[in-house]
Amino acid sequence: MLDQKLKQRAVHRAKIIAGQLAGLVKAIENEEYCPTLLGQSLSIQRSLKSLDAFILENHLRTHVRHQMQSKGDDEKAVQELIKVYTLSHK
């Protein structure tokens, strides 16, 4: 289940990232100056982090909230959050 407002923001962000990535590919093909390429790459990485935040917010507001209220699912929610935290710090 997706919060429709967060879904809209996430889709918008993903489309922006797709455009940024296409621009980076074109810049690489045109052999643009390396610092320019790195700047574009870092911008994409920041956009991906923003998208991750939207997705995580949705998960917390919907799935985790529901799991914490359901008997027996609270441990599942905790394990999922630990997994996400671990993945984000690799």
CATH number at residue 58: 1.20.58.1000
- Average pLDDT on 3-21 reads 92
Q: Please name the residues in contact with 37: beta carbons below 8 A apart, sequence gap of 6 or more.
A: 24, 27, 28
pLDDT value at residue 47: 95
Give pLDDT tens digits for 16-56: 999 999 999 999 999 999 999 999 999 999 999 999 988 88
Count up the domains in the chain and report the number: 1
pLDDT value at residue 74: 83
Domain that holds residue 33: 4-88
Write the DSSP string, 45-88: HHHHHHHHHHHHHHHIIIIIHHHHHSTTTHHHHHHHHHHHHHHH
Give pLDDT tens digits for 63-87: 888 888 887 888 888 888 899 889 8
